[in-house]
Amino acid sequence: MSNKQIYLIAHYYMKPKPHVNTCQAGWMDNLDNIRYDEAVDIVRGLKPKSLSAQVILNLSAKSVERNAWNSDKDFDKLFAYFFEGYHSYLTSVMAQLDPQYLTEMVDRMHKEVEGAEIENKAEQT
């Protein structure tokens, strides 16, 4: 892996939800007591700390290096997920790396949103 490649790395940290009694045995067995915090970084090259991330996307090569959560999601689906929450960062990076891909993905996401809105209106009537 070249140090010139640009990566998106995501770490996830499990924490108890507010007001959960963690002194009680078995509190972690109930998924309603747990929340996950997401820490996302965009880095040049992978460092040893980066290798522990649950999700690693190579933005330069547009490939999934690691996806510990769901192995069947491809780069486009993961990019769309992270773009939703971190669009300002991904826009600035992808505008330099591959502006055509960025434009295509934004157009595709807009069409998906429009399609969902049309379905919602049809269900409401």
The residue ranking higher by pLDDT, 40 or 70, is 40
Global model pTM greater than 0.95: no
pLDDT value, residue 1: 44
Query: How confident is the model at residue 96, as a pLDDT?
Result: 92
Residue 79 contacts by C-beta under 8 Å, 6 or more apart in sequence? Answer: 57, 62, 90, 105
Model confidence pLDDT, tens digit, residues 79-120: 999 999 999 999 999 999 999 999 999 999 988 888 888 888
Taking only the tens place, the pLDDT of each residue in 38-62 is 999 999 999 898 889 999 999 999 9
Rg for the chain (alpha carbons), in Å? 18
For residue 20, what are the CA distances in angstroms to 17, 29, 36, 94? 6, 12, 14, 40
Question: Which two three-digit tokens encode residue 29?
Answer: 């067995």
**How much is the pLDDT for 72?**
80
Nearest to 101 by CA among 90, 86, 89, 115: 90
pLDDT at position 2 = 46
pLDDT of residue 120: 80
Q: Strand runs (DSSP E) across 17-123, as ranges?
A: 34-44, 55-58, 63-67
- pLDDT of 122 reads 81
CA atoms of 80 and 48, how far apart (whole Å): 26
Q: Which two three-digit tokens encode residue 92?
A: 């600035």
Check if the beta carbon of residue 29 is closer than 8 Å to that of residue 12: no
pLDDT of residue 124: 80
Q: What is the mean pLDDT of residues 60-65?
A: 95
What pLDDT sits at residue 16? Answer: 92
Are the C-beta atoms of 70 and 28 separated by less than 8 Å? no
